[in-house]
Structure 1
Amino acid sequence: MKKIKLFAILLFFSTALFAQDKPLTIENYYKLKWGHADEFIALWKKNHYPLLKKLQEKGDVLSIKAETPVLHSGEDTRWDFKVTLTFKTEHLALDYSIVDPYKKQLFPDQESYAKAEQQRFELVIAHWDVPVETIPLN
């Protein structure tokens, strides 16, 4: 029992020591099936953006920015849609369940919501998230 308490205390203090309460920005990149970017973005705006807006209203997300490239690069480096999110803390950025309370509230027909989300992800060839930080230049 003493070992368990000691382990719990060490875990608590190591988590507190290394946990960051500073904001974290994550760039979310999507490479989509050719010709389906507009469909994906429309589904994203309909099904995911409202969840992010709720998080922003609550203060968990500080900013939301969406971008598409003007020109496409080579196939190996191509991305079609990028969302940049700045979370209030690193903990919130890495807690994927923070949108769960809003899913039923915003989308009472969970079956239709799940079907639309399935369609959205069927359009994705690749997806990657990149945590980034600003580097002071002075």
Structure 2
Amino acid sequence: MKNTVLCLLLVMLTTGFIHAQKQAQPLTIENYYKVKWGYAGEFIDLWKKNHYPLLKKAKEHGDILDVKAEVPIMHSGEDTRWDFKVSITFKDAITALAPDLTTPYRAQLYPDTAKLQKDEQHRFELLLSHWDIMVDKADLEKQ
């Protein structure tokens, strides 16, 4: 029930955003990951092994324009800490919110689906929190 309510809320929030944007405009979403202390390297390795290849396939297909990853150099307070940030620029908002964007590539890249599921389950067990933020460039020259 909680997941259904969260999904409905996400749909309501993003629907207005999508209509406000031109559908042909690229959309960037920043994904932040906060991992259990001492496990950030393992989490990132699993992300690069199991998720990044799917994003690269979507990029080859033209649905994703760019993928960038960052890690913090210095630490912050526990309440504001994140360990890994991935910025994905999609060709448009509709594509960015498509729930099955990478599904066609899953079987092609990972024939052993049981192993993939086990690895992905472990990756998510390492997470303390995860949040996604849609961002847009601010025009600093415009008054």
Structures share a fold, TM > 0.5?
yes
**2:134 equivalent to 1:131:** yes
Q: For 2:75, what is the secondary structure of its paired residue?
A: coil
Q: How many residues align?
A: 123
Q: How big is each residue's C-alpha offset from its partner over 1:17-59, in whole Å with a ceiling of 9 and x where there is no partner?
A: 9262211000000000000000000000000000000011011
Identify, as 1 or 2, the structure richer in helix: 1
Cα separation, 1, equivalents of 2:111 and 2:119: 13
Cα separation, 2, equivalents of 1:119 and 1:69: 23
Cα separation, 2, equivalents of 1:42 and 1:107: 16
AA at the equivalent of 1:75: E
Find the counterpart in structure 1 of residue 29 from structure 2.
Answer: 26
AA at the equivalent of 2:57: K
Higher Rg? 1
Q: Percent identity?
A: 59
AA at the equivalent of 2:77: G
**2:68 equivalent to 1:65:** yes
Runs of 5+ unmatched residues, structure 2? 1-15
Cα separation, 1, equivalents of 2:42 and 2:99: 24
AA at the equivalent of 1:133: D
TM-score scaled by structure 1? 0.86
